[in-house]
Structure 1
Amino acid sequence: MNAHLRRCVDAAAALGCPTVGTFVGRDPGLPVRDNLERAAGVFKPLVGYARDRGVEIVIENCLMKGWHPDGYPGNLAYSPELWEWMFTLGLKLNYDPSHLVPLGIDPVAAAMPYVSEIAHVQAKDTEILPGAVNRFGFYGPINGEKGWYRFRVPGLGQIDWPMVIGALRAGGYDGVVSVEHEDHVHSGSTERVQTGLGIAYGTLRHLVRG
């Protein structure tokens, strides 16, 4: 796995791409603190390898619930507390506000103190399904699925995109905002995907620079 990440860094450097994204995995049999100690030893040399080639490693704040046998966070980068740990290693944040909504975290308040550490932004929305949380709770069904929320294209969920993009710009972010299409309502055919992307474009076009 680490050899693969190094090859991705080499490819990014050859292509002039400034970032390579990955996650911080975990051993589900160990406490979070023990996992973080192990992860620090893994990532420090990888960060150095990337920086020597003009590339930064970015970590997305996705929960990756499917990595954990009980559906708990499998990626140890899901909250600002863990972002601060990442930054001490020289890792940067691939900021996706859609993953904060199900945690009860305000995407704007979460991002504002750390804009200088954000190296990439993913635009994806989250729709809360009415009443479903009363059955599953915030942790979701026992099979690890989301259960009470689903991802949508920007503009069809709970996220206030003018506030999110405004906070990023106010903090000095002037990088990429890439649409991550995981909207199953607008999937299944080329036409549906294009419709979803059109909605995302219409939501974001006046908020970002071309």
Structure 2
Amino acid sequence: MQIGLITDSVSHLTFEEALDLAKGLGLSSVEVATGNWSESPHADLPSLVSSAEARAEFAGRIADRGLGLSALTANGNQLHPVSGPEQDEVVRDTIEVASALGVPTVVMMSGLPGGRGDSHPNWITTSWPPENLDILAHQWDEVAVPYWRELAAFARDKGVRLAVEACGGQLVHSVSSMVRLIESVGDPEVVGANLDPSHLMWMGADIPTVIRELGGSIFHVHAKDIRVNGPRAARDGLLDTVAITDPGDRAWNYVTLGLGHPGGETFWADFVYTLRSVGYDGTLNIEHEDTLVNSVEGVGRAADLLRRVTLVEAPDWRPADI
């Protein structure tokens, strides 16, 4: 496995400074956001689409520091009932650029439609009242599945995999909904999972179980932690609408790797080992979203932790060695 950096983690730095940080920490690669929910501080997507020279210059900056480009990210809501087409354009342009650069993976979220006639997305989290299931059926059968089947065909034609990140507030937010999307699309070589354990942690999932259930469907991995704020969680549970900029009043928060999930470094060692057990040998990309910790310090602490637990070399055990 290798350790990489999502450059949006240090969005206040220039691209050169972010790359220098990754190089200085001994990381192997970067992941760069191209738009939609990201302000895309390190990539000019229109230029990358239209100019081979711009793509060469972009790739050259990365390669000159001995780094690879593990993925491009186009997280947004391309299923939004109003702005979906505009966000879909960013997704497709990102796939085009990834194809031109030889980048194997584009990271996305599933998107979240509205109900029939809605102008805003609608996240269904319970089966009651009865109309919830009618809305959910519309979202899956009439919006999401047709869209994703067509997008998967587009990505396959470009030689790019789509790694979907399960996240609260998205149609795909759990293992079961991830499997439903993959099976509904019917192209498991193109549509798989971007495993960001933090989103599943706050919803109560057991991450080693998640890894074993997804198995070979895991295309890409983000390394991000959460910390449950015990008093607030005890009062209100874990569904939380308090702004992320007010961490003291939230039930849970994204935190620097190792400062959140019970078990600390032991948890992350098990995380890496379980990934190895299902055949994952790709990149672990650090994503820093801790509002209480300096981003450069947080990325450095995450890199230090991952270096201690990441398995780098391929296993060489053979049955004859018994």
Q: TM-score, normalised by structure 2?
A: 0.57
Partner of 2:173: 78
User: What amino acid sits opposite 1:78 in the alignment?
Assistant: H
1:5 Cα deviation (Å)? 1.4
How many pairs does the alignment contain?
A: 194
Instruction: State whether structure 2 residue 77 is matched by structure 1 residue 3.
Output: no
Cα-to-partner distance string for 1:77-131 (whole Å, 9 max, x where unaligned): 1111101112111321010111111111101111112120011100000111121
Partners of 1:166 and 1:29 in 2: how far apart?
Answer: 41
Give the unaligned 5+ runs of structure 1.
64-72, 187-191
User: What amino acid sits opposite 1:32 in the alignment?
Assistant: L
Structure with max Cα Rg: 2
User: What amino acid sits opposite 2:240 in the alignment?
Assistant: G
1:144 Cα deviation (Å)? 7.1
Cα-to-partner distance string for 1:130-188 (whole Å, 9 max, x where unaligned): 211123222124x57682000012111116111111110111001111000101111xx
Instruction: State whether structure 2 residue 274 is matched by structure 1 residue 170.
Output: no
User: What amino acid sits opposite 1:52 in the alignment?
Assistant: D
1:197 Cα deviation (Å)? 1.2
Q: Secondary structure, in 3 states, of the residue corresponding to 1:172?
A: coil
Residue 185 of structure 1, aligned match among 269, 292, 295: 292
Cα-to-partner distance string for 1:56-91 (whole Å, 9 max, x where unaligned): 11111121xxxxxxxxx2x11111110111211132
Report % sequence identity. 29
Partners of 2:99 and 2:309 in 1: how far apart?
Answer: 30
Instruction: State whether structure 2 residue 308 is matched by structure 1 residue 206.
Output: yes
Partner of 2:206: 106
Partner of 1:57: 162
Instruction: State whether structure 2 residue 144 is matched by structure 1 residue 39.
Output: yes
User: What amino acid sits opposite 1:194 in the alignment?
Assistant: V
Partner of 2:260: 157
Note if contact 2:211-2:278 (Cα within 8 Å) is conserved in structure 1. Answer: no
Note if contact 2:167-2:174 (Cα within 8 Å) is conserved in structure 1. Answer: no
Q: Secondary structure, in 3 states, of the residue corresponding to 1:132?
A: helix
Instruction: State whether structure 2 residue 182 is matched by structure 1 residue 87.
Output: yes
User: What amino acid sits opposite 1:11 in the alignment?
Assistant: V
Q: TM-score, normalised by structure 1?
A: 0.86
1:129-144 to structure 2, matched below 5 A, reads: 129-141=229-241
Instruction: State whether structure 2 residue 119 is matched by structure 1 residue 17.
Output: no
Partner of 1:195: 297
Partner of 1:68: none
| Aligned-CA RMSD value | 1.8
Moved over 4 A (4+): 143-146
Partners of 1:86 and 1:111 in 2: how far apart?
Answer: 17
Partner of 1:66: none
- Counterparts in 2 of 1:204 and 1:103: CA distance versus 1, 3 Å: same
1:26 Cα deviation (Å)? 2.1
- Counterparts in 2 of 1:144 and 1:193: CA distance versus 1, 3 Å: closer
Partners of 1:118 and 1:194 in 2: how far apart?
Answer: 28
Partners of 1:129 and 1:165 in 2: how far apart?
Answer: 26
Partners of 1:128 and 1:56 in 2: how far apart?
Answer: 33
Q: Secondary structure, in 3 states, of the residue corresponding to 2:158?
A: coil
User: What amino acid sits opposite 1:158 in the alignment?
Assistant: H
